[in-house]
Amino acid sequence: MALKTGWQGRYYEDFTVGDVYRHPLGRTVTATDNAWFTLLTQNTAPIHVDRHYAAQTDFGQPLVNSTFTLALVTGQSVADVSQNVYANLGWDDVRLPHPVFEGDTLYSESEVLAKRESASHPNVGIVTVHSRGHNQDGVIVISFRRSVMVYKRGHGPTAARRKAAERPA
């Protein structure tokens, strides 16, 4: 039986400015997702968890917690952008142009805006992407810029683990 290596994610050298990654997995947001995330983060806004209250707003239904939307779209991008992350540096210009409702399915993509060598860590580079999340109707619900430090090929914990596994027993 031949051992096949699965997707290992991109390393710094694999990023090219202008490339767009359509992240493969969509995710339908449930009422439980919204309630749990809102409660876990101690967000007391009733528009997220009180259906009676939310029904009286212009939206007529609960809104999904916007930081859940940020976390979900960030998570969808990991396999393509930060599977080999050294450190997450931050999010900038977060925009929420359309609300997310319970039952919406979110999809996302990220475009590589910039990359550069790290001045302080020679084994990593810094990559900046612009990520967009949209619902099942193609309506953009979130966009943001994200910067991450990504290991160069042959460095980092995965590379060390692989090298150890390749050594004869």
pLDDT tens, per residue, the chain with 169 residues: 777 777 789 999 999 999 999 999 999 999 999 999 999 999 999 999 999 999 999 999 999 999 999 999 999 999 999 999 999 999 999 999 999 999 999 999 999 999 999 999 999 999 999 999 999 999 999 999 999 999 999 998 865 556 565 666 5
The domain ranges of the chain are 12-166
Q: Which helix (H) or strand (E) holds 67?
A: helix 66-81
CA angle 86, 106, 24 (to 5 degrees): 60
Give the pLDDT score at 7.
Answer: 79
Give the pLDDT score at 121.
Answer: 94
Among all chains, which residue has been given the structure tokens 């967009």?
Answer: 132
Give the pLDDT score at 165.
Answer: 58
Give the pLDDT score at 6.
Answer: 78
Q: Compute the half-sphere exposure of residue 25: CA atoms within 13 Å on the CB side of its CA.
A: 12
Prediction pTM value: 0.90
Q: How far apart are CA 128 and CA 91, in angstroms?
A: 10
Q: Compute the half-sphere exposure of residue 108: CA atoms within 13 Å on the CB side of its CA.
A: 28
CATH for 12-166? 3.10.129.10
Give the pLDDT score at 45.
Answer: 95
Give the pLDDT score at 1.
Answer: 74
